[in-house]
Structures are given as C-alpha cells and as structure tokens.
Amino acid sequence: MSSDRQHETGRTRPAAVIVLAAGAGTRMKSTRPKILHEIAGRSLVEHAVRAVAGLQPERLAVVVRHQRDVVVEHLGTVAPDAVIVDQDEVPGTGRAVEVAVEALGELDGTVVVTYGDVPLLSTDLLGELVAAHRPGGVTLLTTELDEPGAYGRVLRAQDDTVAGIVEFKDATEEQRAIREVNSGIYAFDAALLRRVLPQLSTENAQREKYLTDVIGLARAEGVPVSALTCPDRWQLEGVNDRVQLAAVGAELNRRTVEGWMRAGVTVVDPATTWIGADVTIEPDVTVLPGTQLHGRTTVATGATVGPDSTLTDVVIGAGATVVRTHGSGARIGDGATVGPFAYLRPGTDLGADGKIGTFVETKNATIGAGSKVPHLSYVGDATIGTNSNIGAASVFVNYDGVNKHHTTIGSDVRMGSDNMYVAPVTVGDGAYSGAGTVIRKDVPAGALAINVAPQRNLDGWVTTNRTGTAAAKAAERAGATTDSTTDRPTAESDPS
C-alpha cells in the first residue's frame, strides 16, 4: 500500500467520502434546511463533515438539492474543499451516490457513504468501518434496536454474511421482526459502484433508486458483503424531526459534559448544564447549575461560572467568578467578578481583579485592572483606566440620536453615584465627582466635578398643600407647622 493512502495514525485513507445531504426534511416543518439545524453550536452537516474530515479522504463530495444555494453557502464555511454535487430529478439514495461517483471521476479504492443528518457519528467509528472493509466488496454499519421502527432490516445468509437489506415499507412481517437494522452508512469498492449503480431500478414502493439494492447486486456478482455492528446506536441516530433533534442534542451534551468532568472540571448539576462543541474549559473550573456555555467560550483554571448564566464567545480568566450573567463577545480578566444579573454585550473587556456588578450593562467598554462598576449602571463605548470606581446608577450617554461617541475615564478615579457622562467626554486621572453630576465637559486630572444647585427646603409645604394626607398627618405629629404665607412657592413652581 502506498504511503499516500495512509494518514499519520496509520489508518487507511478512503479514496472518497460521499455525504448525502439532498433531502427536504419535511418532518422538521421548517423553512430552514434540516441539515442546517444545530446542536451544540454546530449544524448537523458540520458535525457530519467534521467526522469524515478526520479520515483525511482524498476527495469529499456533498450531494445537495433541497434549498441548494443556502446549503452550499453554509458548506463554503464548514467544508470549503468539498465537491458540491447536485442530485437530479431521479429520487433516492442510490441515485445520489450515482451522481456523486460520476462527478468525482476516476476513483480507485474505498468509497465511504454517510449522511448529513447523523451528527454523533465519530471519526473513530468511520475509521473502524474503513479498516474492516474488504477490498472489492461492501461493508455496512449496523446496530441492533429493541424497537427498530422504520429502519431497513439486515437480512443475513446462513454463513452470517449480509444477504441483503429490505426497506421497511417493502418488508414482510417476518422481516420486520428483525432487530438488526441498517444505518445506511457504507464502505464500497469504487469499481463496484461504477459497475452496479447504473443497474439500480425504481421498481419499488417508494419509486426510488435504493442504495440498499447494491447489496443484492454485489452478492449476485459473488462480491463479499460484510457488516460492522456498532453497539453505540446513538452514533447512527439520524435526525428527521425536532423531537429527534432534541434527543440527539441532549445525548451529545451529556457526552460533552461527561468528557469535561473526566478532564478535571467540576459540573455540579450535569442535567442543567449545556456546553457547546467549541467550548474550551481548563481543569479545576467549577460550573454551577443552570449554566450554558456556547460558541468559542473559554474558561481558565480556577474560575467559577454560574449559576444561571448564559455565555457565548466569552473569554473567562483564571480565578474569575461569573454569577447569573448573560454575555457574548466579552473578555473577563483573571480574578475579576461579574454579576449577579449583569449583561455583557460584545466588546466588553474587564481587566484583572475588576468588577462588573449587579444590574450592570456594558458594551464596547474596556474596564481596566482593578476598576469597578458595582451596580445599576450602563457603560457603553467607554474606556476606564485602572483602579477606578464608577458610582451606582451611572449612565454613559453614548448616543446623541445620530452618532455614537466615546467616554474616557482615567485611572484612580472616584465617581459619585447617579452620574451622567454625556459623550464625548474625558475624565482625568485621580478626579472625583459629586453625586448627581451630569458631566458634559472634560474633567481635569485631580479635579472635583459638581454641578448641583444648592438645596432649598420649603418648610410646612406638605401640611399646607397636602392637607389630610397620611404624609401631612405624619408631619403634624412630628411637629411640622402649616405654612401660612402666601408668597411661598409651591412644588409645582419651585425652580429647584
């Protein structure tokens, strides 16, 4: 065997892999193609092409038809080197493989056929199939089910080789009682496919060209037909409706969570924890109940995430704590704390030992190491230096109705509560501000910004203007007198 037919693991490389992805998926009842529905953050077809890519096939073909342009656009991102093959008007998996073989041209060796809606199928299992395949023949993946349903049944000869496959709708009652079912995933000899695919007929209940009929044609030629039985039926589970989508997604998540726990991550409640396929978690991380980690989220060692947090594409530093937080496209530094009830929007970058606290929303905000936005604030389009503190109930007023503007806060700044920063504005290092300040112009370093008018108290106003109310009675009990003057301004006219 030539060296170019081996990849570095020593496993035989197939000459080609054909992924069948032309079906309409009508049982999904969706405007989106079935194979573009997602589990664990990847489309069904992305799971499929990633599995076959691990075999390092010489050629990869994907057969498409339903919503062809949408599917092809997606394949351009997840399988850019794939040969796109259009299935014609002739229905059936046999015809799909036939047009793929025609499109791939000269092939010599093993051709693997699989599907775009079998997301748990692994590279390892496909590798076992290729290794078990006998040159010149056919090898199929099978499994045994307690309730085989509508799957095609595997018919065995007396010598236990595969005699044929019968589709459920064409099967007799005796054949339907067989528990061994065909997964529809095969390894074929390329030359065999070229010989027998043109012989396939549509003379059957579905009026389709069945790929399973290749088995009978191969046996008629005396070609060896064998089966590799897979005890893990989930790897062969296809998705045809949203019930199956949820079931397969839940099983994949169970396996993913278990894998991270075995890698040194503490998951307190696996049943309520969801971890995407592209998430990375280091050892000694703790994930609390109700947490969802999506996209390319990464969590460094010693961090605690949750409970009740949903994070997408968030980078969490070592030893950080993220509690009851919704976030996307954000970075959280080492030792920083976030939440509870924080909302991190894209562009948030919290420095080491910083804090984004309760009911704080951030967007396009760089918050330096040791700086804190503790509570009830909005920080948008802003840069905050190191070791600064933003008082409660502060708003960075970044939008003038037409354009967004930036606010810059220096280092070691102490801002009062209920401040408004009307961007663009800069606050220098070491500056302070009073409570209730509206900052409309730059504050120099070390300055105190205040713009509050002197407080005025109108004695006796409640007992005069709210006679008989609970407040007035309370004031009278406290010794307040009625204001009898006529030139005293009322609250409605008080300019303060």
What would the mean pLDDT of 217-239 be, rounded to a whole number? 93
* pLDDT tens column, 294-325: 999 999 999 999 999 999 999 999 999 999 99
483 occurs within a structural domain: no
Q: Is the dihedral of CA 45, 170, 215, 234 positive or negative?
A: positive
| 145 shares its domain with 220 | yes
Written as six digits, the tokens of 414 are 């102490």
Domain contains 63: yes
Write the pLDDT tens digit of every residue in 91-116.
999 999 999 999 999 999 999 999 99
Asked whether residue 482 carries a pLDDT value surpassing 90, the answer given is no
The pLDDT assigned to 483 comes to 63
Cβ contacts of 72 within 8 Å, gap of 6 or more: 64, 84
The runs of H, that is alpha helices, within 54-110 are 68-78, 93-104
Which residues, other chains included, contact 130 with Cβ-Cβ below 8 Å and sequence gap of 6+? 11, 12, 14, 55, 110, 112, 187
Assess whether 209 and 279 both reside in one domain.
Answer: no
Q: How many CB atoms sit inside 10 A of residue 222's CB?
A: 7
What is the average pLDDT across 52-62? 96
DSSP 467: T
Summary mean pLDDT of the chain: 92
The per-residue DSSP string of 273-321 comes to: -EE-TT-EE-TT-EE-TT-EEETT-EE-TT-EE-SS-EEES-EE-TT-E
Q: Is 284 domain-assigned?
A: yes
Whether pLDDT at 223 is above 60: yes
Per-residue pLDDT of 273-296, as tens digits, reads 999 999 999 999 999 999 999 999
Together in a domain, 87 and 159: yes
pLDDT of residue 423: 97
Task: Identify the pLDDT of residue 403.
Answer: 95
Rounded CA gap, 252 and 86, in Å? 30
Same domain, 291 and 228: no
CATH number reported for the structural domain that contains residue 206 in this entry: 3.90.550.10
Q: What is the mean pLDDT of residues 23-51?
A: 96
Residue 251 clears pLDDT 60, i.e. is over it: yes
CA distance 316 to 301: 9
Nearest CA-CA partner of 234 in 225, 247, 218, 219? 247
* C-beta separation of 253 from 233 below 8 A: no
Identify the pLDDT of residue 7.
43
- 132-157 per-position pLDDT tens digit: 998 888 999 999 998 888 888 999 98
Cis before 224 (ω within 30): no
Between CA 296 and CA 463 the distance in angstroms is 63
Domain with 431, as residue range(s), is 264-449
- Between 36 and 212, the more confident residue is 36
Residue 453: its pLDDT value, please? 83
Active-site residues, by number, are 375
> Mean pLDDT throughout 355-378?
98
Residue 356's SS3 state is strand
Reply yes or no on whether the pLDDT at 4 is more than 70.
no
CA distance 115 to 17: 10
Provide the sign of the torsion angle of the four alpha carbons 216, 222, 223, 224, taken in this order: positive
Q: Is 332 helix (H, G, I), strand (E, B) or coil?
A: strand
Instruction: Report whether pLDDT(85) > 70.
Output: yes
pLDDT of residue 76: 97
Q: Do 187 and 299 fall within a single domain?
A: no
Q: Please, which pLDDT band fits residue 490 given cuts at 50, 70 and 90?
A: very low
Q: Match 């120099």 to its residue by tokens.
A: 444
User: How much of the chain exceeds pLDDT 70, in percent?
Assistant: 95
CATH number of the domain residue 274 falls in: 2.160.10.10
The stretch 179-208 carries a mean pLDDT of 91
Half-sphere exposure of 366 (CA within 13 A, CB side): 9
Q: Report in angstroms the alpha-carbon separations of 322 from 256, 275, 349, 374, 478.
A: 21, 16, 14, 14, 47
pLDDT of residue 179 exceeding 70, the answer is: yes
Name the residue with tokens 């390092």. Answer: 56
With a cut of 60, say whether residue 488 has pLDDT above it.
Answer: no
Residues 282 and 394 in one domain: yes
Q: Which residues pair with 383 in a beta bridge?
A: 366, 408
| pLDDT surpassing 60 at residue 204 | yes
Task: Classify residue 251: in a domain, yes or no.
Answer: no
pLDDT band at 128 (very low <50, low <70, confident <90, very high): very high
Residue 105 maps to a domain: yes
CA distance 112 to 5: 14
User: What is the spatial distance between Cα 200 and Cα 310, in angstroms, rounded to a whole number?
Assistant: 51
- pLDDT recorded at residue 484: 53
Number of domains in the chain: 2
Would 13 be classed as within a structural domain? Answer: yes
Residues 159, 36 share a domain: yes
pTM metric for this prediction: 0.89
pLDDT at 177 over 80: yes
Is the pLDDT score of 491 beyond 70?
Answer: no
pLDDT score, position 332: 98
**Do 157 and 199 belong to one domain?**
yes
What is the structure's pLDDT at 150? 84
259 part of a folded domain? no
Q: Which of 231, 226, 221 is nearest to 160 (CA)?
A: 226
Phi first, then psi: what are they for 85, rounded to 5°?
-120, 130
From residue 356, how far is each of 62, 293, 311, 341, 469 by CA, in Å? 47, 19, 15, 10, 42
Q: Which residue has the higher pLDDT, 355 or 145?
A: 355
Query: Which pLDDT tens digit goes with each residue over 379-437?
Result: 999 999 999 999 999 999 999 999 999 999 999 999 999 999 999 999 999 999 999 99
Q: 243 in a domain, yes or no?
A: no
Nearest in space to 62 (alpha carbons), one of 33, 39, 27: 33
CA-CA distance, 19 to 85, in Å (whole number)?
A: 10
Same domain, 157 and 72: yes
Residues 182 and 305 in one domain: no
Asked whether residue 194 falls in the same domain as residue 330, the answer is no
Q: Do residues 304 and 165 share a domain?
A: no
The tens digit of pLDDT for each residue in 62-84 reads 999 999 999 999 999 999 999 99
